[in-house]
Structure 1
């Protein structure tokens, strides 16, 4: 290649990298703005426009008053002086928590702390290790949610793609009609199937545990512990699998059917290429972008259903944590859980944009 050609090729690559960088920066900015708006609305709702802070002031006053009256050092103190001491300590605690500022400025401070996951101490809840730091409580629950939903979604994705590819060449078969008939069953959420699975396989035929993440007490040894986690994951993973598998196969089979009748597929078949190679190169590859789009959008929907599903199976993840925090009216933990879910959704959408731009060369990621 001539020096001019090499220079042109390098310049083209630099332009592509620059366009991708601009595209990524814009998408991050847009998603960050979406997260900020969502978290701020959560702060307003969780705090009921400032009413929760008023309740906290009353709780502080009640707690300080009880502590002062129960302290034997203040037993001989006059009532007026005792009330003044209570008022002084209440005011110090109120100033420490910035509850003396207008709610608007407090909400902005909550937003700043929330997006940085610096949410301080929980009001009621603690971690299993006894920590009341919201960051520690969330960090303790996040791996369980990622393990459960990551396993279920990967299982659904690879199983659906494999079966849908085969059904695209067996249009109208008994298996194809069965999948079409079962597709409406995905209208029911995962927790709905979970209730029946628990009834069948934990009570009628007690084969698997009904809930939790590991046996109590936890088994000793890494292999025994891992096997216990797998057994406890079986029912919730099966519930999510049943709620998504048939609609996924049906949707992706339609993509494969559309592309399997293209001229280039018939040409490859006429050339004598193996059927497996035809499905992989000429059917799966052109449809990979919409398939991944459909999968990630499905994943976004599953994140939103984590609260009920984890509560049904007593799975110690973020969904259960958020449910418990709502019951305890623990505002810092509620906001922290919502922030984590918002970040998970934003990361999912960001990966969708990047993967779509990489898989489909027709997608423009910036100005020409």
Structure 2
């Protein structure tokens, strides 16, 4: 036997088992990297377009300059020493003060340069300061304003959306079993009611239950003054939550239940479902294994979108019910042309939406065996 290092040859079984694992890891890595790159480019484009639209292509700069000149003029006129100066000295002092403020707000640079700076800061979550809106503590930091208004919006929208999602999922599945019956025809007849927005129903609910019957409060999030103990405070919030939640439910229930019912009917008519019925499987087993399982990617998508849209709030509905949420502050920011608040809310939503899409892509491969990560797409065949 020759002297030297001992060469150990791996067993063919070990090589065969390691090769698919490495190939799968490589495909997952390439897929995730590519999706992150695509989503990052999408987020950058979306945020930059939001900056351009929120600034009206630079027209907001002219509004800001006019506001600065007006404010400087009022401040100087209120100063008694300013009145004693000559007209030329007044003009020079006023112009100097205007230039200082324009430089402070960055208006001395071209809009294109500042838009790129805004884009960089926004992507780094440096959301800046609001022009006119303040938080309850008096701060104008956009992140503090959004953080302060986010919990009420999540409470209202998450509660309503999760309730609507599970109610419509149950209703769609129940009605798909009773195709053509009275309840099914009634749902089809009531579906056009979802054409009205939630705030429309909110107005009528306020007139009925608050103004006429006086069972529930007109709006707000809690009684004024707020209850001192935690139990009474929670019950007060719950009473104020009923009407806006009911308005959102009335606006979205019928169309979503109709969509789910139609979707389940499509899958219930597949050949493999008919074969399962012919084999004598129970209805519940058929629904669970052959109807709900193939629709799981779509259900996951709907649920994720429902949760992620809770961030955007409901601007008009929150205004109608005087709900101190994020949608209401965005509505105020649009009216006041408060660009930092508008851009800040859009940036956070863009990041959350991109993250949700990435997670959904990975979940599809787990719940749907037809989906292959990094592969050619969806393989044909029955689930």
TM-score (norm 1): 0.86
Match for residue 245 of structure 1 among 236, 246, 253: 253
Q: Work out the CA distance in 2 between the residues paired with 1:274 and 1:56.
A: 69
- In 2, distance between residues paired with 1:225 and 1:18? 53
Task: Sort the Cα spacing of 1:284 and 1:42 in 2 relative to 1 into closer, same or farther, 3 A.
Answer: same
* Aligned-partner Cα distance in 2 for 1:173–1:281: 25
Larger radius of gyration: 2
The answer to whether the Cα contact below 8 Å between 1:64 and 1:89 also exists between their aligned partners in 2 is: yes
Q: What's the offset of the Cα at 1:322?
A: 1.4
Deviates more, 1:299-308 or 1:231-240: 299-308
Cα distance in 1 between the residues matched to 2:369 and 2:176: 25
2:287 equivalent in structure 1: 279
Say whether the 8 Å CA contact 1:183–1:246 is kept in structure 2. Answer: yes
Structure 2 CA distance for partners of 1:84 and 1:295, relative to 1, 3 Å:
same
Is the counterpart of residue 62 in structure 1 residue 70 in structure 2? Answer: yes
Corresponding position of 1:322: 330
Displacement of 1:344: 4.5
Equivalent-residue separation in structure 2 for 1:300 and 1:188 (angstroms): 22
TM-score by length of 2: 0.83
58-67 or 295-304: bigger deviation? 295-304
Cα distance change on mapping 1:258 and 1:48 into 2, 3 Å: closer
- Which consecutive residues of structure 1, in runs of 5 or more, have no partner in the other structure? none
**Aligned partners of 2:242, 2:11: CA distance in 1, in Å?**
60
The question of 1:181 aligning with 2:200 is answered no
Q: Could you say which residue in structure 1 is the equivalent of 2:4?
A: none
The reply to whether residue 356 of structure 1 matches residue 364 of structure 2 is yes
Instruction: Look up the match of 2:134.
Output: 126
> Equivalents in 2 of 1:121, 1:56: separation in Å?
14
Q: Distance in 2 between matches of 1:14 and 1:214?
A: 57
Query: In the superposition, relative to structure 1, how do residues 129 and 80 fare at CA in structure 2: closer, same or farther (>3 Å)?
Result: same
- Do residues 337 (structure 1) and 352 (structure 2) align? no
Matched, 1:103 2:111: yes
What value does the CA root-mean-square deviation take over the aligned residues? 3.0
What does residue range 1-368 of structure 1 map to in structure 2 within 5 Å? 4-5=12-13, 8-71=16-79, 78-262=86-270, 264-265=272-273, 274-296=282-304, 306-367=314-375
Q: Which moved more, 1:124-133 or 1:303-312?
A: 303-312
| Structure 2: unaligned runs, 5 residues or longer | 1-9, 377-383
TM-superposed deviation, 1:105? 0.6
Displacement of 1:238 after TM fit? 1.6
Query: What SS class does the counterpart of residue 177 from structure 2 fall into?
Result: coil
Q: CA deviation at 1:324?
A: 0.9
* 2:127/2:142 contact within 8 Å kept: yes
1:237 to partner: Cα distance = 1.6
